[in-house]
């Protein structure tokens, strides 16, 4: 009995170890397959490894220059008696010192062109901008809007309403002075920035379907109708066709060119001709390598939730673009609005690459990237400022039909998620378990039937079994011989 238990436990150990080995082999095979698929999305790069003065760290040089500037301000410059001016200059100096520290000491991101210090600079700007948003969030509505006057005296004034979609005639015959006044009135600084924004967003996301979902179906369809009190002033034709459609089209063409171009890098002083040197300088502002994003949202639940989160954050950032300038009383053509777009252009590209790396290779990228973390925090903080400064605008009642569309969309997404990643997976595992059990039972039956077929021939050749059968059949020949 003890021997049977020992053998049974040994069999269980062998089975468990074989099962663990099989699971490890399967996971290693999946990891290898994912790594191979990732290698197929990365472009091949040839670099001669030249490390010039341009690429070396200059921490001591920056520290020496910064110290000389502070010594000059302290010993040689007379401090003005203007408190407001000194406050502004002290804040600017503090920000510059922090930027100098970050550019020289911060951790590098995934991008290296035109220079890693360039992306470290934008990382530090992200920290400064987040701190500024936190400061604005803790002010009252009146104080926050008046504080913008310290940045620009022209701010802090309520915005006039501008009509983008009231008269959509390209040629207005009623206006004899300027029949094309509708085009010039609606083509403010935000429209070309809007086109460039969607061009850059396409380069960030690198997927046509996600761009179209964010642009047409959600952002510039349902948001316009869901909030007519805010978005009734934007012309649909200029929005969808000119800004979004043309920007996405140009972005996809650029993606095709970047994925096909060769990436061969050579040191500037190793190039013999002046034409080659100029070309090399121009290509310094292009990517060092290229990775084709393959989101595959339906492959597993982690990717699906990541894609939904990316779409949600993009929608929230797009909503902040319209609402933030409205609640802080900044006109669309103001340089702060355009600087915010430039900021998100540089920050968003790095953040999307970090999100893709974190989602595509979690074994290597064990935590979310620093720029992606800051971009998400900035987007949420901007939305909180909008909610605090003008809650009535956001809380206006939505038309019942649009509410039904939103509820229907959310129900469809939730239903598909449950079916694809829970119900369907459960059915698949149950079916696989039943199939394996059926195959195991069938194999055992076949083995038992084969043993029965082999038993008569073996018994015929066994004398002990034959003598036993002779006794059962009533044969008494051996007994008679012993008696005789």
Residue range 88-106, pLDDT digits in tens? 899 999 999 999 999 999 9
Lookup result for tokens 């720029």: 371
Query: 263-265 and 45-47: which strand pairing?
Result: parallel
Angstrom distances, CA of residue 106 to CA of 114, 122, 247, 354, 370: 17, 11, 33, 16, 10
Q: How confident is the model at residue 457 (pLDDT cuts 50, 70, 90)?
A: low
Higher-pLDDT residue of 202, 240: 202
Contacts of 107 (CB under 8 A, 6+ apart): 120, 370
Residue 56 confidence (pLDDT): 76
Question: How is residue 262 written in tokens?
Answer: 């060769």
Length of the chain as a residue count: 484
Question: How is residue 429 written in tokens?
Answer: 């595992």
Q: How confident is the model at residue 182 (pLDDT cuts 50, 70, 90)?
A: low
User: Among 161-175, 301-315, 467-481, which stretch is predicted with the lowest mean pLDDT?
Assistant: 467-481
On whether the CB atoms of residues 203 and 255 are closer than 8 A, the answer is yes
370-389 helix and 116-137 helix, angle to the nearest 10 degrees: 30
Note the pLDDT tens digit of each residue in 370-391. 999 999 999 999 999 999 998 8
Higher-pLDDT residue of 280, 85: 85
Note the pLDDT tens digit of each residue in 241-271. 667 788 888 888 888 888 877 777 777 777 7
pLDDT at 18 over 60: no
Look at residues 170, 65, 54, 174 and name the one whose alpha carbon lies nearest to residue 118. 54
Q: Distance from CA of residue 212 to its chain's centroid?
A: 16
Mean pLDDT of 352-362: 87
Q: Distance from CA of residue 97 to its chain's centroid?
A: 31
Angstrom distances, CA of residue 4 to CA of 9, 11, 17, 102, 444: 9, 10, 20, 69, 20
d(CA 168, CA 164): 8
The whole-chain average pLDDT of the chain stands at 76
Mean pLDDT of 274-284: 82
3-class secondary-structure state, position 141: helix
Residue 293 confidence (pLDDT): 86
Percentage of the chain lying above the pLDDT 70 cut:
71
Q: How confident is the model at residue 223 (pLDDT cuts 50, 70, 90)?
A: low
Residue 238 confidence (pLDDT): 62
Mean pLDDT of 465-474: 46
3-class secondary-structure state, position 383: helix
Residue 138 confidence (pLDDT): 95
Residue 187 confidence (pLDDT): 56
Higher-pLDDT residue of 329, 451: 329
User: Among 146-150, 160-164, 359-363, 456-460, which stretch is predicted with the lowest mean pLDDT?
Assistant: 456-460
Question: 250: exposed, middle or buried (C-beta count within 10 Å: 0-12, 13-18, 19+)?
Answer: middle
Residue 188 confidence (pLDDT): 54
Asked whether the bond before 114 is cis by omega within 30 degrees of 0, the reply is yes
């Amino acid at each position: 009995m003890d021997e049977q238990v020992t053998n049974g436990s040994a069999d269980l150990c062998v089975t468990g170890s074989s099962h663990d080995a099989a699971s490890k082999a399967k996971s290693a095979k999946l990891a290898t397959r994912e790594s191979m698929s990732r290698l197929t999305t990365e472009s091949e790069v040839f670099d001669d490894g030249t490390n010039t003065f341009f690429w070396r760290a200059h921490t001591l040089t920056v520290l020496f220059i910064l110290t000389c500037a502070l010594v000059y301000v302290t010993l040689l410059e007379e401090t003005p008696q203007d408190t407001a001016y000194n406050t502004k200059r002290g804040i600017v100096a503090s920000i510059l010192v922090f930027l100098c520290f970050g550019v020289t000491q911060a951790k590098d991101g995934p991008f290296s062109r035109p220079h890693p210090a360039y992306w470290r600079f934008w990382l530090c700007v992200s920290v400064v901008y987040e701190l500024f948003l936190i400061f604005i969030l803790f002010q009252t509505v009146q104080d926050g809007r008046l504080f913008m006057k310290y940045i620009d005296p022209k701010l802090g004034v309520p915005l006039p309403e501008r009509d983008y979609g009231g008269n959509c005639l390209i040629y207005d015959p009623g206006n004899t002075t300027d029949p094309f006044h509708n085009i010039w009135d609606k083509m403010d600084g935000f429209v070309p920035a809007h086109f460039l924004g969607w061009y850059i967003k396409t380069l960030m996301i690198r997927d046509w379907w996600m761009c179209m979902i964010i642009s047409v179906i959600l952002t510039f369809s349902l948001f316009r109708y869901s909030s007519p009190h805010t978005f009734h002033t934007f012309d649909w034709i200029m929005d969808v066709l000119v800004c979004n459609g043309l920007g996405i089209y140009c972005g996809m063409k650029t993606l095709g060119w970047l994925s096909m171009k060769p990436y061969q890098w050579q040191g500037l002083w190793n190039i013999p001709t002046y034409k080659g040197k100029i070309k090399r300088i121009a290509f310094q502002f292009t990517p060092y390598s290229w990775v084709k994003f393959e989101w595959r949202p339906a492959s597993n639940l982690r990717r699906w939730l990541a894609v939904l989160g990316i779409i949600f954050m993009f929608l929230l950032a797009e909503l902040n673009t319209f609402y933030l300038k409205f609640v802080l009383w900044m006109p669309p053509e103001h340089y702060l609005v355009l600087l915010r777009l430039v900021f998100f252009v540089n920050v968003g590209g790095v953040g999307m690459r970090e999100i893709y790396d974190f989602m595509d290779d979690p074994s290597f990228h064990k935590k979310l990237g620093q720029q992606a973390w800051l971009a998400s925090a900035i987007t949420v903080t901007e939305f909180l400022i909008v909610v605090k400064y003008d809650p009535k605008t956001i809380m206006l009642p939505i038309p019942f039909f649009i509410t039904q569309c939103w509820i229907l969309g959310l129900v469809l997404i939730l239903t598909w998620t449950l079916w694809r990643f829970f119900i369907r997976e459960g059915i698949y595992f149950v079916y696989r378990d039943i199939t394996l059990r059926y195959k195991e039972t069938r194999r055992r039956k076949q083995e038992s039937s084969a043993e029965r077929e082999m038993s008569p021939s073996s018994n015929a050749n066994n004398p002990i079994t034959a003598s036993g059968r002779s006794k059962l059949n009533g044969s008494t020949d051996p007994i008679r011989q012993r008696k005789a």
